[in-house]
Structure 1
Amino acid sequence: MQRAAASPPPVYYSAPSPPEPPVRRGRLWRVLGWVSIAMSVVLVGGSLTAYGFWRRLDGQIHREKVDDKLGANRPAKLNDSINILLMGSDSRQGANAQYGTEQGERSDTTILLHISPGGAGAIGISFPRDSMVQMPSCKKSNGTTVPAQFGMINAAFSNAGPACTWRTIESLTKIHIDHFVEVDFAGFKQVVDALGGVEICVPKPINDPKAELHLKAGKQVVHGAEALGYVRTRYVLGDGSDLDRIKRQQAFMASVVKKATDKGMLTDPGRTYSFLSATTKSIKADDKLTLSVMEKLASGLKGMSAGKVRFVTVPTMAYPKDKNRVQFNQALAEPLFQAIREDNTPPEPAPTPVPAQQKVQPVPPAQVRIGVFNGTAEHGLAQRTADQLTERGFKVVKVGTVKAAAKTRILYGAGAERQAARAAIAVPGHPPALSAKAKPGYVYLIIGKDGAKLSGGGPALPKVAGEIRADRDVCAQT
């Protein structure tokens, strides 16, 4: 968050008033689909109105029937969210032969992409390939069955393809998965090139002839083979661990999302079509990810900004029997899985709930600059509330504490009546009040002993250590 000179604090505050952030409007985008590009996720945008255009793109996707391989005892679907399993295959067949002669095929990358109801936010959860897990029995395409076994999670893919990884992730998380998308090395390069390259930031010069990777230090744009080498290399950057490589790959994903939603990209029909065409030619998906499903997904995600997209890694701990392997830290992972299972957060309601006597038309959440302050003894309450407001599109500019407050209040400065009205919709039961000392244009939520429950359903998706947001600076430390 950027800071400027502080202004006089509003009444009731012992903390300084929020800094003035630069004016920056959230980019609007429509989504064709989510694709796994080895270790990348692309959220595609554009004004796709011609049915024939959709049909051409849809016809380029290779699909696989998996329903008969998923079994009967699957997790129940509890909400209107969308969960897509993204897999990057390390197959060396066909155009991928140049990357080695390894036999078989494994999931080089496994990410569970969760899109909240109404497009309120999205989170990509990486599952480290070195994770030791219990895998269920799986049915292969030829009808034979691979017995249940314990081993590295990426073995599920080589055992019986995408459906086996699908079954494994569902059994471990109890999260209902709706679709899968798979991309191999060649597909990754094609999509990155169609995107015009992706910006990365390297802390030091890289000269690795074996990986054919030569990069200067600092910000730069990488293409095709160079981008693939960057996301796959394990030993010339970081500490050589899979977890460290995942952090680098997540930063790359964030940069891909930011580039794919760039205003210049979305306003150039030629670039948009080339990008979407390369994407659809490069992926494999389940046969239920149909044209109508993609159109529905596009419609539901209008207005999502890159700031609502984040990437995390499943919390892990050392696997006692092998220092080179990890296992899930269930105490930290289960709250994340539960929040996703129960994510019923709806889109912000229409302005009609505003009290008639107020006679103020609320602005969209993205136009509300709000500070959140904790007036209770409950540790972390302001930050958790601020995270929920951020997920709903509010611009949280300050989080802090104040002296004990008996009741929750929404205060606002001159000119922020409409912004306060929107805040009152998100945090119902607390009519806004003008504060003469509050900074003009700002809203302040002071949480008292009566709490500040946001409107809507299930628990907010928890913060995960080391998470990366798609609107971050590419050179920011992770």
Structure 2
Amino acid sequence: MKRKRNKILIIIGIIILLILGGAFGTYKYINRVKNVKLQGSNEELKISQETEEKSTKENIENILLLGVDKEENASDTIMILSLDKDDNTAKLTSIMRDLNVDLGESNKVHKINYAYHYGGVEGSVSTLNKLFDLDINKYVKIDFEGLKNVIDYIGGIELSVTGEESRIIGLSKSGNVKLNGKQALEYSRIRKIDNDYYRTNRQRKVIMAIFNKAKSIEVTSYPKIISDLSSNIETNLSTFELLDLGKGIMSMNAEQLEGFRIPIDGSTEDLMDKGIYYLGWDEEVNKKALHDFIYDEH
């Protein structure tokens, strides 16, 4: 099983908001976050009672992080943030968007990111809980358009791009280049030249570039960044929970932050259906791998 230690947990823009909010106590900006409760019972959200009891016993909380693409009305990024409150550690699992899943549509194959298209946040939560026997009942959703504004505000980001990538986003050269918000968003959405593994990596590169650039700007600029992000975020976490989460992550060092990816290496196959690419995967193997990662079950 392949596990990668991340020196920084900030993989998506949500975490930038949480950390800056936790650091500067910017209640008035975080209060702009749209608070929307999940609809449905535990049964309807497919919450595993067994896993819920295990999480309570081990004091672990699983939170769904969604990055949404309005153009597709689908989730562009799906991640599970697992917080161990006893050990003060955090684990972040990336779920690849091309996984083929049954969303209840007769005789129709779907990618997991379309759980959001058909059922909103509740659809994403129930699909993940059902597939992986999880107990997710908290979520944070961000519209990536908000990241575009942040990138422009901090003066763009620098990335290394290939010739094919530069051509797709309309650049005249490859190598180390400076991207504005629109170009960075287009770069993160490239899907024509390779597969979801590379797409996920591009998204990670963009977010890390934002974080690194944000670290170098004046502290007085943080409220504007937080304001731009907060207006593009929806969650059922309270203001107190958001700030507490940000402060908790800030207090962690590199060894307390760990990343993971589903599906794991060696458990997939490439599939085509009516000209559309899907990622076939071994559900039981990956379910076990995810529980091993979150709950240290070996």
TM-score when normalising by structure 2: 0.76
2:228 partner amino acid: A
Q: Determine which of 62, 66, 69 is the counterpart of 2:38.
A: 66
The match for 1:88 is 67
Question: In 1, are the aligned partners of 2:80 and 2:92 still within 8 Å (CA)?
Answer: yes
Question: In 1, are the aligned partners of 2:45 and 2:126 still within 8 Å (CA)?
Answer: no
Q: CA RMSD in A?
A: 3.6
2:96 partner amino acid: P
Q: Secondary structure at 1:188's aligned position in 2? A: helix
Percentage identity across aligned positions?
21
Structure 1 residues 219-238: aligned runs within 5 Å: 219-235=176-192
Distance 1:215 1:311 in 2: 35
Question: In 2, are the aligned partners of 1:35 and 1:182 still within 8 Å (CA)?
Answer: no
Q: Larger relative CO (CA 8 A, sep 6+): 1 or 2?
A: 2
Offset, 1:240 = 2.2
Offset, 1:49 = 7.4
The match for 2:194 is 240
Q: Secondary structure at 2:135's aligned position in 1? A: coil
Structure 1 residues 12-411: aligned runs within 5 Å: 36-37=12-13, 42=16, 44-46=18-20, 53-54=26-27, 56-68=28-40, 71=44, 73-75=46-48, 76-77=51-52, 78=55, 79-92=58-71, 105-117=73-85, 120-135=88-103, 151-204=110-163, 206-208=165-167, 211-214=168-171, 216-235=173-192, 239-260=193-214, 262=215, 264-265=216-217, 268-286=218-236, 289-305=237-253, 308-310=257-259, 312-315=261-264, 316-318=267-269, 322=273, 324-330=277-283, 332-342=285-295
Distance 2:172 2:89 in 1: 34
Distance 1:203 1:112 in 2: 30
Offset, 1:278 = 1.2
Offset, 1:61 = 1.0
Query: Which sections of structure 2, spanning at least 5 residues, go unmatched?
Result: 1-6
Question: In 1, are the aligned partners of 2:69 and 2:75 still within 8 Å (CA)?
Answer: yes
Greater gyration radius: 1
Distance 1:148 1:59 in 2: 44
Q: Deviations over 1:356-412 (max 9, x none)?
A: xxxxxxxxxxxxxxxxxxxxxxxxxxxxxxxxxxxxxxxxxxxxxxxxxxxxxxxxx
Question: In 2, are the aligned partners of 1:132 and 1:152 still within 8 Å (CA)?
Answer: yes
Structure 1's 41 and 150: CA in aligned 2 closer, same or farther, altered over 3 A? Answer: farther
Distance 1:300 1:68 in 2: 29
**Which has the larger helix fraction?**
2
Distance 1:67 1:276 in 2: 28
2:99 partner amino acid: S
Question: In 2, are the aligned partners of 1:257 and 1:306 still within 8 Å (CA)?
Answer: no
1:190 partner amino acid: N
